[in-house]
Structure 1
């Protein structure tokens, strides 16, 4: 029976990873061992579970049904084992988070390091994804999002700064060459460096002041996906044009003089990120992480 459960665990890992090599890396096994395990499981069930091509591995209809039914059971078994181990005084288990790239720059990394220092036996996996996917459906314990509408059975816990701002910036060399915009609509005649969501939609430039809100579809001289935000800021520093990004990303460059704030009285503010998860029976590592975040937030950060 234990071997069967191990084989099922390998199968679920392959489905989640979308391939043998990625699953093998996550499991600490060789790709050959993973492939042999899947072959053994398919032979035992007399059913093909995965369709293999040179480029991808996808579950068959039977494989999708098996993964959907067995993954929650395996997760519950892992949670039960972690809970028993944790009663001995040391927290064990695994925490899987689905997060946008924005929180990986300077918000989440120090929190994760401090949490893992408190709980050295906990393993953490961070899936960085800028698509608005359901973290639970993606087989994660919790997700981190900005301003996402949540289902009634979800709990949201603030993480990091309660308020953030989007900021507009340019290099002194660009402003000396192109002039300093006096109003957001002046940006329509400037070189702009824009981001694009993973969905393919360009990120709009939004401004607000004294109750007036303006959303602009500025012309993009250069467009970069959200995962390339650091490169976009680098291009702005080199003088290619104006960029709009999280203020906390740009502050070090303002301090150094590499970038100059532009239209600062028009910068919009928004709520900081939240950790969200199902309220029913969170696994021990997630409960501990939520308690850690709430303790961190007592000082009103």
Structure 2
């Protein structure tokens, strides 16, 4: 049975992306080209591999079994081709990273910009996803998450600031009209702008000072889910709709310009910064190896004595 390896790769790409359009953006092959490849593969194998509806694409049971067997084979092929990077003057290829929206917005832009300037032959693909995923099963080289979301068998490399804070802030107009809370529990009497996880969970607001931890579940006029949520919440806070609670890096430009004012700053809770994580039991593709070395060098430079 003659099967084109490119058709197999197209099928895996579509199955992982959950659709032809998303797979086209990731793979660089047109959606129509991917569709034709999958149809050709199904015809050659005489079995349906994908269930297609107008809203979604998902592998059949046969498709799932094929993916299980193909994933390590395709990974080995990528590793074999990556050996050629050793014969080039500098690393080349694609680096696929799975990152949460908050990290993609506030932490990653300067890092990726500097990295791509240093390695112009590498192309970076960012998959923005807030839930924890198996990076290999998702077709990614590595991910970025916080330490409580890391799997035990992953190698974790610190990336970005090692201490971050969740900050609360409001517009001067809101504070003038509603007053400034002096204790976290007073937030229950204020309009608070909330962000809901994609899973539907609504995280409580947690504050800490001198070892005392206070958790509150305030309400307000706005509830948004991740993705564009942070921009929406910031805009709403600047417009005076209520109190926002986001990463300090997100709010800092607005605080510095006076568009927002800190609220309960002595209660802002700190936590450890994120990590770049990847599987330690496999060959590192040249783009990922270059990125890991770049992050380690940047971290060493930031922590070295001046």
Q: Which residue does the alignment assign to 1:54?
A: 54
Measure, in 2, the Cα distance between the counterparts of 1:88 and 1:39: 37
Q: 1:168-179 residue pairs with structure 2 within 5 A?
A: 168-179=168-179
Q: CA deviation at 1:237?
A: 0.6
Residue equivalent to 2:144: 144
Equivalent position of 2:245 in the other structure: 244
User: Is 2:87 the partner of 1:87?
Assistant: yes
Is the CA contact 1:79–1:93 (under 8 Å) kept in the aligned structure 2?
A: no
> Secondary structure at 1:218's aligned position in 2?
coil
Aligned pairs (5 A) from 1:125-140? 125-140=125-140
Do 1:163 and 1:272's aligned partners in 2 also have CA atoms closer than 8 Å? yes
Q: How does 1:238-277 map to 2 (within 5 A)?
A: 238-277=239-278
Taking structure 1 as reference, are residues 60 and 282 closer, same or farther at Cα in structure 2, changes over 3 Å only? Answer: same
Which range moves more in the overlay, 25-34 or 158-167?
25-34
Decide which moves more: 217-226 or 57-66.
Answer: 217-226
Runs of 4+ in 1 over 6 A off after TM superposition: none
Q: Distance in 1 between matches of 2:165 and 2:30?
A: 46
Aligned counterpart, 1:298: 300
Tell me, yes or no, if the aligned pair for 1:98 and 1:142 is still in contact at 8 Å: yes
- 1:1-301 to structure 2, matched below 5 A, reads 4-227=4-227, 228-280=229-281, 281-300=283-302
1:134-164 Cα offsets, whole Å, 9 max, x none, are 3233221111111225333211111110101
Return closer, same or farther for 1:98/1:292 CA change in 2, 3 Å cut-off: same
Conserved 8 A contact 2:100-2:145: yes
- Work out the CA distance in 1 between the residues paired with 2:223 and 2:302: 36
Q: Work out whether residues 170 and 240 of structure 2, in 8 Å CA contact, stay in contact via their aligned partners in 1.
A: yes
Q: Distance in 2 between matches of 1:155 and 1:2?
A: 39
Distance in 1 of aligned mates of 2:206 and 2:154:
29
Where 1:161 maps in the other structure, the secondary structure is coil
Give the secondary-structure state (helix, strand or coil) at the position aligned to 1:282. coil
Deviates more, 1:248-257 or 1:81-90: 81-90
Contact 2:220 2:242 (8 Å CA) reproduced = no
SS at match of 1:193: strand
TM-score (ref. length: structure 1)? 0.94
Identify which range, 86-95 or 157-166, moves more after superposition. 86-95
RMSD: 1.8
Q: How many residues align?
A: 301
Give the superposition deviation at 1:37.
1.3
Give how far 1:220 is off: 2.8
Could you tell me whether the CA contact under 8 Å between 1:86 and 1:92 is conserved in 2? no
Superposition deviation, residue 261 in structure 1: 0.5
**CA–CA distance in structure 2, aligned partners of residues 243 and 192 of structure 1:** 6
Conserved 8 A contact 2:197-2:225 = yes
SS at match of 1:220: coil
State how far apart, in whole Å, the 2-side matches of 1:104 and 1:36 are: 33
CA distance in 2, matches of 1:80, 1:122: 18
CA distance in 1, matches of 2:203, 2:85: 46
How far apart are residue 294 of structure 1 and its match?
0.3
